[in-house]
Structure 1
Amino acid sequence: MISKKIGIVESIADSSEVLDDIRVNINGEIQRAYNYPKITGQINIGDEVILNTTAVELSLGTGGYHFVISNLNNKESDLSKGGHIMKLRYTPYQVKVNAVEDHESEYHDIINDFTSLDGMPAVVGTLHSMLTPFVASYKRHNPNKKLVYIMTDGAALPIYLSKNVETLKEKGLIDKTITIGNAFGGDFECINIYTALITAKEILKADAVFVSMGPGISGTGTKYGFTGIEQGPILDAVKKLGGNAIAIPRMSFADARDRHKGISHHALTIFKEIVNVSVNIPVTIYSNKNFDYIKKQVKDNELFDKHNIIYVDNKKCKEDLDYFNLKVRSMGRNYEQDKEFFDAASTAAYYLMEVCDDNEGDYCK
């Protein structure tokens, strides 16, 4: 259930149209909190706010902040105008959005008349931290191609929480965003992954799409109990609609948990049991024992029998990140501490470019 406390806004560390990073006084103790002005209104120093303190009290790494539930000094907010589709349905914060599929939407007939993605590449990750290295490598070499980010509702629901998206859009590296399911706040709103992929192709004319959840992931240490399992059904959707499905494998040799060593058990479960179709899985080549470990995992789990495993020589991830002055971090680790994780996302971009070099389809011009 929700744990709530009342606090007084002491200072505003950072503020934008969509997210306020504030400091609140709760019973004499200064603590960090986030406010979404489109939902809970503008914030000012001295305002009395009701806070959701649940995650901090549980010492959670994911969602581990206070969030403003209500500003007692400002009850005005305006998330959207028009539209009939609700997100966060049947909760006190259900919000009305202009969904692309809505019967009153100008795009309604385009969605209805869709036939195929015609090979549009869709790169699917499991963690939000895969987004930046992929974008850096792809956009450095394809600055004029249109890249669309689809954010699922597997983790954070407001796209506003993502500093990665904010930074990448400011630098012109992500062209448009789409939020699906109960996630909201993208440039376009869709009900599900199918209509989001159609929107990316038919409305936004994307050259490539990246799909992942927003910041945060839920995991339980069990085989199937993690939100990243959505990668499987998303890859199925890409193939069902006629797209080029490319999967980023979750990799690490820095994670202390043995189940995440090399190719994570999350990725192995998805590739072996969850995804129903054959997909392209690029894997980075290394000249060390780590690569031997990865190749053994691929063989032992018979991934070659079901999928197209492509070994790619890529040593440019850090160079691409530095080119755009981008910093990355996942599970508290930066590039130098967990290079294999970030390389995997970058390698998907290089694989996509290699495919395009050898293909004369519309998406490779």
Structure 2
Amino acid sequence: MRIQWETAVVTETVGEPLSSHSLQEVRVRLGNGETAAALHDLAVGTPLRPGDEVLLNTTAVRLGLGTGGVHFVHAKLGRLDESVDRPEVPVGINPQEPETQDRLRPTGPQEGHIMKLRYTSLQRAVLSVEEPSSPHHALFAESRTLSGMPVLIGELHSMLPAAVCWLRELVREAGASVPRIAYVMTDGGALPLAVSGHVRRLRELGWLAGAVTYGHAYGGDVEAVNKYTALLAARHVLEADLAVVCMGPGIVGTGTSYGFSGIEAGELVGAVHTLGGAPVAMARISFADPRPQHRGLSRHTAVALGQAALASACVPLPLLPAEAEAALLREQVRRSGLARRHRLRWETPPPLEHMAAALEAYGRPITTMGRAWQDDPAFFSAICTAAGTAYRLLRNGGPDKS
């Protein structure tokens, strides 16, 4: 294990941070003259300005990784024209005395006692929804269920905006009241919610009732310890009618059968089932991905649902128009054994022009592995097919029994 550290100087700031719990984007100049973008977590430091000297974690960029492939500011070292910024303790003050500790203790709202990123230099305390000091503690001291709430489960972060766009389109077509949709972010990808431009956009549009972050993911409207309480928080704290659960930006894969972070999708099926919800799995399907393991039905989906899932889910699958693609997908599904574990629903996906119009309402590009719907229609068709099934379950008021 190694970490690559490099020093740099901030040359400019990019945009304005949304809050004290978001990420600040800056441009930096490294020692070799290279300029690059870097992200600064405002939860652990004040906003940066041009001229600040910073210590960067450049590991992912130097390794050429897509996941986490950006520089992160670890600490502010000082300024080019000033001495190093360090908090000063007045002369004659003993920092160990209780009276002095009270004076030096940060003021502000109670942040809670549950640590995320535990036992690292960046561990931080959050107010977890379950803990005794939380106003919602009593909810979790009782036996609660999801009361049949549909839960869309996905492997990739790009599935979130596409699913929400299609849900909104179905609501518009039906002339129905807009359901409350919550996003539950796992810790399988990015840990800070603020990294997600999609969540930021969905919030701008008012399309999310809120976000829950669990495990070591942080920054949601609600923090939770694990997937079970996160799902319950979506239902009972955010009062969601429907939830979408998937990791933040980035996914880990190793080219091996079980060595990928998206295997959590199978575990999530079990959690939703245990809590009395209606799990609906979004299959990862592509005929544009050049990698053999992701052509047609992704091997990740086949393993997560075919082996890791210990409970049954509804798995909607699109009836693809291209005969060769449809035949391959059916054969892959047959070999995966999904039908033995889950309730498969082969359905006609929405017309591409209809799907495109729904995605266009988002006002920002939605891509998967850099591909838009025009480049990878099967991927988006599968998501919209699953979202349509979840919406019907919501309208019908209960879990799928077919």
Correspondence for 1:245: 279
- The secondary structure found in structure 1 opposite 2:321 is coil
Correspondence for 2:122: 93
Correspondence for 1:170: 204
Bigger CA drift: 273-282 or 109-118? 109-118
Alignment of 1:107-256 (within 5 A): 107-142=136-171, 144-256=178-290
Correspondence for 2:97: none
**Residues 40 and 75 of structure 1 are in contact (CA less than 8 Å); yes or no, is this contact kept in structure 2?**
no
Larger Rg: 2
Task: Report the CA distance shift for 1:115/1:30 in structure 2 as closer, same or farther (over 3 A).
Answer: closer
Bigger CA drift: 85-94 or 102-111? 102-111
Correspondence for 1:14: 15
Task: Report the CA distance shift for 1:230/1:256 in structure 2 as closer, same or farther (over 3 A).
Answer: same
- The secondary structure found in structure 2 opposite 1:332 is coil
Task: Report the CA distance shift for 1:361/1:305 in structure 2 as closer, same or farther (over 3 A).
Answer: closer
- Residue 113 of structure 2 is aligned to residue 84 of structure 1: yes
**Residue identity opposite 1:216 in structure 2:** G
Which residue of 303, 311, 331 maps to 1:269?
A: 303
Correspondence for 2:27: 23
**Residues 79 and 95 of structure 1 are in contact (CA less than 8 Å); yes or no, is this contact kept in structure 2?**
no
- The secondary structure found in structure 1 opposite 2:256 is coil
CA offsets per residue over residues 17-44 of structure 1, 9 Å max, x none? 3122211111222122111222232110
Task: Report the CA distance shift for 1:281/1:78 in structure 2 as closer, same or farther (over 3 A).
Answer: farther
Q: Which runs of 5+ in 2 are unaligned?
A: 79-84, 88-105, 172-176
CA offsets per residue over residues 257-291 of structure 1, 9 Å max, x none? 11111110111011211101111001112221212
Partner Cα distance (1:8, 1:356) in 2: 52
Report the alpha carbon displacement of residue 323 of structure 1 after superposing the two structures with TM. Answer: 2.5
Correspondence for 1:297: 332
**Residues 133 and 343 of structure 1 are in contact (CA less than 8 Å); yes or no, is this contact kept in structure 2?**
no
CA offsets per residue over residues 222-273 of structure 1, 9 Å max, x none? 0000000011111100000110011111111111111111110111011211
**Residue identity opposite 1:345 in structure 2:** I
Partner Cα distance (1:39, 1:49) in 2: 13
Partner Cα distance (1:360, 1:171) in 2: 26
Task: Report the CA distance shift for 1:98/1:75 in structure 2 as closer, same or farther (over 3 A).
Answer: farther
CA offsets per residue over residues 48-91 of structure 1, 9 Å max, x none? 11100111111111111110001124679999743010000000
Bigger CA drift: 113-122 or 296-305? 296-305
CA offsets per residue over residues 145-190 of structure 1, 9 Å max, x none? 1000000000100000000100011001111000000000000000
Bigger CA drift: 286-295 or 169-178? 286-295
Partner Cα distance (1:278, 1:362) in 2: 11
Partner Cα distance (1:78, 1:237) in 2: 38
Task: Report the CA distance shift for 1:78/1:218 in structure 2 as closer, same or farther (over 3 A).
Answer: farther
Query: What's the Cα RMSD here?
Result: 2.0
Report the alpha carbon displacement of residue 119 of structure 1 after superposing the two structures with TM. Answer: 0.6
- Residue 345 of structure 2 is aligned to residue 310 of structure 1: yes
Partner Cα distance (2:198, 2:86) in 1: 29
Which residue of 127, 131, 135 maps to 1:106?
A: 135
**Residues 24 and 39 of structure 2 are in contact (CA less than 8 Å); yes or no, is this contact kept in structure 1?**
yes
Report the alpha carbon displacement of residue 9 of structure 1 after superposing the two structures with TM. Answer: 0.5
**Residue identity opposite 1:90 in structure 2:** Y
- Residue 61 of structure 2 is aligned to residue 56 of structure 1: yes
CA offsets per residue over residues 188-231 of structure 1, 9 Å max, x none? 00000100111111222110000000000010000000000011
Bigger CA drift: 300-309 or 169-178? 300-309
Identity %: 37
Partner Cα distance (2:124, 2:139) in 1: 25
**Residue identity opposite 2:51 in structure 1:** G
**Residues 272 and 301 of structure 1 are in contact (CA less than 8 Å); yes or no, is this contact kept in structure 2?**
yes
- Residue 3 of structure 2 is aligned to residue 2 of structure 1: yes
